[in-house]
Amino acid sequence: MKVLGIDPGTAALGYGIVERTGGRLREIDHGCLTTSADLSMPERLLAIHALVVELLELHEPDLMGVERLFFSRNVQTALGVGQARGVVILAAAQQGTPVREATPNEVKSAIAGYGAADKEQVQRMVQLVLGMSELPRPDDAADALAIATWVANTDRGRVAATAGVMDRAAVAPITRGETGYERAVREAIAAERAAQRTDKRNAS
């Protein structure tokens, strides 16, 4: 199984391809696309789309892994990542490549055993897991390899569902079960409606 991992961004987009053969994982390719600040946003997005299409056509991965934006204090950064994600997912859809998603914390926990692992820890663990002779650089490429590794280790020919039904930013929200967040929302709504019914009865 071959996986293309993408760490999305409009200024810098990391990519990494890994291949699983039996129980062994190896790195095939990795790198980073940087776009000039002199380019307009449409030009940046076009360059990202062209690169992802080229990678998909060249390596023909079975799956693509994309980092899902979980939280960002910087609205501008969040918007840029969201736009890059959209272009990447579009390219995957055009090539018929299934997409898997994970938050940075999910990937770090799987790779380094710690959701708040720093960049250097992620690089070292990716190097170790993939048996690379050198640390993967730059950081964006290392993150992309980590995402690809996460997909290769968690997907076994099934549809990976990591998002809740209410997460409309996800590629494929879960349509079964109930997350803790959803349960809390449902219980809060039920409690509010019960309180409203009680108020109406008391008023009458």
Q: What percent of the chain has pLDDT over 70?
A: 80
Clarify whether 139 is annotated catalytic: no
pLDDT of 145-161, one tens digit each? 999 999 998 875 444 44
**Average predicted confidence (pLDDT) for the chain:** 84
- In this prediction, residue 80 carries a pLDDT of 83
First and final C-alpha spacing in the chain: 67
Fold of domain 2-161: Nucleotidyltransferase; domain 5 (3.30.420)
Residue type, 98: P
Query: Tens of pLDDT along 34-63?
Result: 999 999 999 999 999 999 999 999 999 999
116-145 average pLDDT score = 92
pLDDT recorded at residue 168: 54
User: How far out from the chain centre does Cα 60 lie?
Assistant: 19
Enter the tokens of residue 89: 């997912």
8-state DSSP, 135: -
- Give the closest residue to 102 by CA, choosing from 168, 150, 30: 150
Query: Does 176 score more than 60 pLDDT?
Result: no
Mean pLDDT (whole number) for 69-79: 68
Q: Which of 2-11, 79-88, 187-196 has the highest mean pLDDT?
A: 2-11
Say how many C-beta atoms besides its own lie within 10 A of residue 83's C-beta.
18
Does the pLDDT value for residue 1 go beyond 90?
yes
| Residue from 27, 67, 101, 155 carrying the catalytic annotation | 67
Say which range, 5-14, 125-134, 165-174, has the weakest mean pLDDT.
165-174
Phi-psi region of 136 (alpha: psi -120 to 50; beta: other; left: phi over 0): beta
Q: What is the pTM of this model?
A: 0.76
Backbone φ, ψ for residue 85 (5° rounding): -60, -45
Least confident of 13-17, 141-145, 164-168, 190-194: 164-168
Which of 7, 27, 106, 143 is an active site residue?
Answer: 7
The C-alpha angle with vertex 116 and arms to 153 and 8, in degrees rounded to 5, equals: 65
**Active-site residue, 67 included:** yes
Residue 64 CB neighbour total at 10 angstroms: 29
Given a contact cutoff of 8 angstroms between Cβ atoms, the answer to whether 59 and 1 are in contact is: no
199 is catalytic: no
Alpha helices, DSSP H, located in the chain:
41-59, 75-95, 104-112, 119-130, 139-154, 180-203
What's the sign of the alpha-carbon dihedral 119, 120, 126, 127? positive
Which entry of 27, 101, 106, 140 is annotated as an active-site residue?
A: 140
With H, G, I as helix, E, B as strand and everything else as coil, classify residue 158. Answer: coil
Give 92's pLDDT tier (boundaries 50, 70, 90).
very high
Q: What is the mean pLDDT of residues 11-39?
A: 94
